[in-house]
Amino acid sequence: MIKITYYTHSTILLEINNKNIIVDPFFTNNPIIKYNYLEKIIKKINIDYIFVTHAHYDHTIDVEKIYKKFNSIIISNYEICRYFSKKGCKTFSINFGSFIKINSLFYIKYVYALHSSSFNDGSYGGNPGGFIIKYNNKIIYISGDTYVFRDMKYFYKNLFINLSILPIGGRYTMDVKDAYYASCLLKCNNILGVHYNTFPEIKINKNKAISYFKKRSKKLFLLKKEDKIYI
């Protein structure tokens, strides 16, 4: 079983076989949460891995802070890992390719995303991407910030994706209708929506979004802070 906790924006926690993975941590300067929220979180849990989909500040701002607290392993593309390695962080770089076994626990694959990637200081963040995570017979797809792209239909080959985590806020990523189309390409009926309502320009109507998926026989999860789902 994989336990998924939603925090804010695109920040989620995956608990797999007693290991904790935080994805795209964005607590500091986040307009919809309290300033000390990260401190509250890290008092309760240990972070073993930090997954980073791309370099934008709303996905990387708290990577170093979490690393320094837990000595976590940062997993991302080569350029992002090199950026954090220069700061003394422990990293494990990957790129688009095959499944990689992590600590004899689970497998990950870094996959394409249609977006951009740079740090606030202008440093190049390499290719933006997403992660496919495989644990026992469970598969999760974390798309990162992206628009729909045709190659999504190849992700499900020889895989059954139990849950797709997709951005739905529009403007910088997919919107709700695009995310539905992506779920069709992925042949996935369970979607966790992220990257919405954090800023005015990605504001959505949650009830309409849930209804849009429901009318098309799919389930859209829009979780409150610290809500959990299991697959």
Q: Is the pTM of this model over 0.85?
A: yes
The C-alpha atoms of residue 193 and residue 71 are separated, in whole angstroms, by 29
Q: 3-state DSSP call for residue 180? A: helix
Q: 3-state DSSP call for residue 87? A: coil
Q: What is the pLDDT of residue 225?
A: 95
Interval 90-134: pLDDT, tens: 999 999 989 999 988 899 999 999 999 999 999 999 999 999 999
* Domains, the chain: 2-224 (3.60.15.10)
* Locus of tokens 């990523």: 173
CB 212 within 8 A of CB 176: yes
Q: What is the pLDDT of residue 104?
A: 85
Interval 179-216: pLDDT, tens: 999 999 999 999 999 999 999 999 999 999 999 999 99
**Which residues are CB-contacts of 150 (< 8 A; sequence separation ≥ 6)?**
185
Helices (H), the chain: 37-44, 57-60, 63-70, 78-85, 176-186, 206-214
pLDDT at 63 over 80: yes
Residue 64: other Cβ atoms inside 10 A? 16
Q: What is the pLDDT of residue 156?
A: 82
Confidence of residue 159 (pLDDT cuts 50, 70, 90): confident
- For residue 110, the 8-state DSSP code is E
Q: What is the pLDDT of residue 157?
A: 77
Q: What is the pLDDT of residue 105?
A: 86
